[in-house]
Structure 1
């Protein structure tokens, strides 16, 4: 791979990573909304458990997206 191809591949990865970071940001914003709801509400134990499950699910999705989008070699070919 010559320098031009390497730069092109790096640019493709940067674009991919940026898109994944945008998705992660959306999920983080939802997590913040959830935290605000819990903070401002008097919720039952069942409601808290349900919200906590959603919060944890979002956290798992964020970890997966972050980990996957850091893999440079595999994602460059997917563009």
Structure 2
């Protein structure tokens, strides 16, 4: 299985490595411009941002002739 981390965060890399996961890093190009006022709670904004980061990478990889990932991990903090 191809697992991709949609982030260049050194901390997220460390967490996944410490968990023993094998993965590739493909940083997301998603622009974090979601309107925070549209979300009822801060965690909803973070979840949606993480989802959009993962989707951007998942959609871009086949266009760049890279193997389609089985799992893309997106993350965000607030």
Q: TM-score, normalised by structure 2?
A: 0.34
Which fold has the larger relative contact order, with Cα–Cα distance below 8 Å and residues 6 or more apart in sequence?
1
Q: Decide which structure has greater helix share.
A: 1
**Greater Rg by CA:** 1
Q: Decide which structure has greater strand share.
A: 2
Q: TM-score, normalised by structure 1?
A: 0.34
